[in-house]
């Protein structure tokens, strides 16, 4: 009888313990496999230049012509230096062409796995967080006059004190036919990672863009913000590919109503690590015209030696109709926010997956440091 009880206890324990042990081990093994695949995938993405080696810079971009995928800058002798043209091909909606998730999924041989990829700044710069959601908001003229609040944090959310913040104001004035730049403000974040920027604001501003250069331990990130009030109009479809800048009227909120009428490209300003540089002054000729539909719906120019500027993003001074006025536009998306790829991957996300792994590497793009992050998960069969 005692023997039977002992045998029963052992049997029941075995039924409980053994499957648990096996399950835990299987789970660990599964996670390990997932992590290995994620590391290998990230390595392939960041260290390989792909084929053709300059696949991101080709005009009339055709994703089918990319025989092997990789984001590394072919001319670089250092590791983890990425080609900005290739990176921009991961921005869905890029008017100069982009790669679809499925194409890269196939190129990387990730059948059975889902992934999400992003390239973000090494730390967060949050501008005018009026709703305390940890996200930047456009700035009102009142904010600009009273002072614009800036919060600098690690990507985990903890504040960074003693970060050096520099703001450059670019603006247009009522009744004036040009844009102005050069009003700068400097400050340093306090123990809570906060500071207020107070540039001298001239009277009669109708539109403005604020460019923020934030330096933490000599690692710099550059982001920008714009005047609230024009909605999505402030972001224009733009791309920088090699020496070429392309602009087009985006579809979406803010554009339908005022889509009729001519827009004139008056100035193009390139922002890089060193500051803002005017590289083009328009003449209001047909060459600088953008209209809704027709042959002028896209504006494209070749700027020799543009790549030597290492452009991060551009600001376009555009004359827009209804009523006729100057408006400053930022692009390409999401570069003007200080990041390179906001989210590229499976739109369904890893919600249904039992486990997902995240791997990161710091990378260099246009002489700036970013964090490349890959989230990989096993898709349900």
Binding residues for another protein, rule: CB under 8 A, are: 3-4, 6-7, 10-11, 13-14, 17-18, 21-22, 25, 28-29, 31-32, 35, 39, 78-80, 122-123, 154-156, 160, 162, 216-219, 360-362, 364, 369
Query: Shortest distance, CB of residue 64 to another protein, whole angstroms?
Result: 33
Query: Shortest distance, CB of residue 109 to another protein, whole angstroms?
Result: 21
Residue number, 116 or 267, with CB nearest to another protein = 116
| Residue partners of 302: CB distance under 8 A and separation at least 6 | 243, 244
Query: Shortest distance, CB of residue 113 to another protein, whole angstroms?
Result: 16
Residue number, 185 or 216, with CB nearest to another protein = 216
Q: What is the DSSP string of 229-285?
A: TSGGGGB-EEEEETTEEEEEPPPSTTTSTT-SS-EEEEEEEEEETTEEEEEEE--SS
Residue number, 327 or 357, with CB nearest to another protein = 357
Sign for the CA dihedral angle at 261, 257, 253, 176 comes to positive
The answer to whether the CB of 238 falls within 8 A of the CB of 332 is: yes
Query: Shortest distance, CB of residue 181 to another protein, whole angstroms?
Result: 28
Query: Shortest distance, CB of residue 10 to another protein, whole angstroms?
Result: 4
Residue number, 7 or 65, with CB nearest to another protein = 7
d(CA 228, CA 222): 20
Residue number, 217 or 260, with CB nearest to another protein = 217
d(CA 235, CA 238): 9
Q: How many whole angstroms from its chain centre is CA 241?
A: 15
Residue number, 35 or 289, with CB nearest to another protein = 35
Query: Shortest distance, CB of residue 190 to another protein, whole angstroms?
Result: 15
**Order of strands across the sheet that contains 237-241:** 237-241, 244-248, 298-302
Query: Shortest distance, CB of residue 15 to another protein, whole angstroms?
Result: 11
DSSP label at residue 47: H
Residue number, 17 or 192, with CB nearest to another protein = 17
Query: Shortest distance, CB of residue 29 to another protein, whole angstroms?
Result: 7
Query: Shortest distance, CB of residue 55 to another protein, whole angstroms?
Result: 24
d(CA 349, CA 345): 8
Tokens of 311: 């452009």
Residue number, 156 or 380, with CB nearest to another protein = 156
Q: Which of 236, 367, 268 is nearest to 312 (CA)?
A: 367
Alpha helices in the chain (DSSP H): 2-47, 84-88, 101-107, 141-146
Query: Shortest distance, CB of residue 17 to another protein, whole angstroms?
Result: 7
| Residue partners of 293: CB distance under 8 A and separation at least 6 | none
* 123-141 core/surface letters (b: 16 or more CB in 10 A; e: else): bbbbbbeeeeeeebbbbee
Residue number, 105 or 361, with CB nearest to another protein = 361
Residue number, 157 or 204, with CB nearest to another protein = 157
d(CA 321, CA 209): 20
d(CA 37, CA 375): 11
């Amino acid at each position: 009888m005692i023997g039977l009880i002992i045998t029963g206890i052992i049997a029941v324990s075995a039924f409980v313990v053994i499957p648990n042990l096996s399950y835990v081990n299987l789970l660990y093994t599964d996670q390990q496999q997932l992590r290995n695949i994620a590391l290998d995938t990230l390595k392939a993405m960041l260290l390989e230049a792909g084929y053709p080696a300059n696949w991101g810079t080709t005009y009339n971009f055709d994703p089918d012509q990319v025989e092997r995928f990789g984001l590394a800058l072919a001319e670089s002798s250092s590791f983890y230096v990425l080609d900005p043209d290739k990176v921009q091909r991961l921005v869905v909606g890029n008017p100069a062409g982009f790669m679809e998730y499925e194409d890269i999924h196939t190129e990387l041989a990730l059948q059975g796995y889902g992934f999400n990829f992003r390239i973000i700044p090494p730390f967060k710069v949050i501008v005018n967080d009026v709703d305390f959601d940890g996200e930047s908001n456009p700035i009102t003229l009142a904010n600009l006059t009273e002072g614009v609040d800036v919060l600098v944090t690690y990507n985990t959310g903890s504040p960074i004190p003693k970060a050096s913040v520099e703001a450059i104001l670019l603006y247009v004035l009522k009744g004036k036919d040009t844009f102005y730049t050069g009003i700068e403000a400097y400050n340093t974040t306090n123990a809570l990672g906060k500071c207020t920027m107070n540039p001298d604001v001239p009277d009669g501003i109708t539109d403005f863009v604020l460019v923020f250069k934030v330096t933490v331990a000599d690692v710099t990130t550059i982001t920008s913000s714009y005047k609230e009030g024009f909605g999505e109009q402030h972001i224009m479809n733009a791309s920088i590919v090699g020496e070429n800048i392309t602009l087009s009227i985006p579809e979406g909120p803010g554009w339908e109503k005022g889509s009729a009428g001519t827009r004139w490209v008056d100035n193009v300003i390139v922002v890089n690590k060193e500051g803002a540089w005017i590289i083009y002054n328009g003449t209001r000729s047909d060459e600088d015209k953008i209209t809704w539909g027709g042959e002028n719906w896209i504006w494209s120019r070749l700027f020799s030696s543009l790549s030597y500027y290492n452009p991060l993003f551009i600001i376009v001074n555009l004359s827009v109709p209804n009523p006729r006025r100057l408006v400053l536009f930022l692009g390409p998306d999401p570069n003007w926010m200080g990041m390179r790829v906001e989210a590229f991957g499976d739109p369904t996300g890893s919600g249904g997956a039992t486990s997902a792994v995240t791997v990161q590497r710091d990378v260099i793009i246009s002489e700036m440091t970013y964090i490349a992050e890959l989230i990989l998960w096993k898709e349900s069969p």
